Amino acid sequence: MIGLHTVAEVRAAEAPLLAALPEGALMQRAATGLATVCLRLLGQAYGSRVVLLVGAGGNGGDALHAGARLASRGARVTAVLLDPERAHPAGLAAFRRAGGRTLAPEAAGPALDRADLVLDGIVGIGGSGSLRAPAAALVQRAAAGPALMVAVDVPSGVDADTGAVEGAAFPATQTVTFGAVKPGLVVGAGRGYTGELHLVDIGLAEHLPAASTSQLTDADAAARLPLPDADDDKYSQGVVGVVAGSAIYPGAGVLCTGAALRTRPGLVRYAGTAADGVRSAWPEAIVTDGRPGDAGRVQAWVVGPGMGTDDDARSVLAEVLATDLPVLVDADALTMLAREPQLVRRRAAPTVLTPHEREFARFGSEVGADRLGAARALAADLGAVVLLKGEATVVADPAGTAFVNGTGTPWLATAGTGDVLSGIAGALLAGGLPAGEAAAVAAHVHGRAGQAAAAAGPLLAGDLVRHLPEAISRVRGQRPGGLPDSGP
């Protein structure tokens, strides 16, 4: 599991190292790692044209020390000093000793146009707000050229804790971060400015607290997707109940039920007015056109996609929420729940809410730039797990533990994909996973299925259902059919 650590946590972890190590040693570790990544990206140092955009403080010092290492390997390195009087003294001295040259911002245009790599050392993890002139103009010109755009620690203009981007920011194709991954690199608008992420170990690990925000790897998800064994039967693997779709619009019921089946619970029971469509599409499900109480014994419910918001739908939602079972609430059920939040506040059993941003706003506040903070606030208010859908889906529980999803594709922004996600998560809840983990694993698997389906081009929600077995096999490190995956 990849822990995501805030600026305050990173600063606190650095403090004992700064006190124990010789002056400048921690910066040298960072600069060595940064230069190593840059050399790998360039392929060769000799003759490569590198431009450093250098601000005041430690971030500029990291860039200057890395630039000195690149210059000593034969690269032609130029540092654009945005504030010469405040440039890091030791870094600048090392850079000049290595043969690096400096330029004023107004003279940097030609160098940026010819650069093979541009290194962003403008502001570090303590920076906030948009880039100001002349840095914004230099970044814009660099981005228009052919260079690799490499950020030092965090792209300048990106909030390291939230991922907020208020204006001009450095659009990195690669980001080299030190000691720990910061949340702003993988969530919100910041994710789009980070590019490929490289983590350099500078010795912080033993001083960092346990992360309250994490990102799952395939191995983490696989550990929560156990294979059936010889003693399992259809009841021991989890029974999920689905209330979704309607007689006029059966699609949500078909997609949600299909996704639950393909995630491999022991049994799926459907109850609702899309019974004919579900029965026709999925003979493997046990289908009733009655109320949830008529469906038989289940271990978790999914309620909401495509069910409508009339009085009958509200009555069904209240019936499901009145049980002592885990419940996932989505789509139309969220609209009704936003009018009567007490229906979930008084529940003792786990509840997962899966809003997109517009559905989230119905609960009384906009998501805004801080997606993690917004999800945590709503989860604490309602006493439920919140899965906030969108680019870098966020999952937060009432205690403040959160996950940021690292899988997916923009092709998932199409009708019905949320119904598939609900079916996956419902199956995992029925299998006994804690609600927060079930939501996080579902988002991870859903994203992998989207990536598999999008390999052939634009996808439909039904494509996700068909690709779920493949996605789960890949997450487990297997080829479809259960064979070990030794390929790429």
Residue stretches of the annotated binding site: 58-62, 120, 124-130, 153, 156, 252, 306, 356, 389-393, 418-419
CA–CA separation, 164 and 371 (whole Å): 9
CA–CA separation, 225 and 167 (whole Å): 41
CA–CA separation, 209 and 205 (whole Å): 9
Q: Are 369 and 336 in contact (CB under 8 A)?
A: no
Q: How far is CA 474 from CA 222, 234, 387, in A?
A: 9, 24, 23
Look up tokens 């299909």; give the residue.
Answer: 258
Binding site listing for K(+): 59, 120, 156
CA–CA separation, 292 and 303 (whole Å): 10
- DSSP letters, 412-437, are G-STTHHHHHHHHHHHHHHTT--HHH
CA–CA separation, 316 and 333 (whole Å): 10
Binding site listing for (6S)-NADPHX: 58-62, 124-130, 153, 252, 306, 356, 419
Q: How far is CA 183 from CA 26, 166, 235, 429, in A?
A: 22, 16, 39, 27
| Partners of 394 in the β-ladder | 388, 404
Binding site listing for AMP: 389-393, 418
What are the structure tokens assigned to 125, written together?
Answer: 């993890």
Which is it for strands 239-243 and 174-178: parallel, antiparallel or unpaired?
Answer: unpaired
Alpha helices of 43-154 — where are they, by DSSP H?
Answer: 58-72, 89-97, 109-114, 135-144
What are the structure tokens assigned to 402, written together?
Answer: 């959160």
Q: Are 331 and 255 in contact (CB under 8 A)?
A: no
CA–CA separation, 330 and 352 (whole Å): 9
Burial of 449 (0-12, 13-18, 19+ CB in 10 A): buried
CA–CA separation, 483 and 486 (whole Å): 9
Residue 244's closest CA among 207, 267, 278, 202? 278
Q: Are 461 and 420 in contact (CB under 8 A)?
A: yes
Contacts 24+ apart (CB under 8 A), 21-27: 24/90, 26/202, 26/203, 27/58, 27/61, 27/62, 27/65, 27/91
Q: Are 151 and 174 in contact (CB under 8 A)?
A: yes
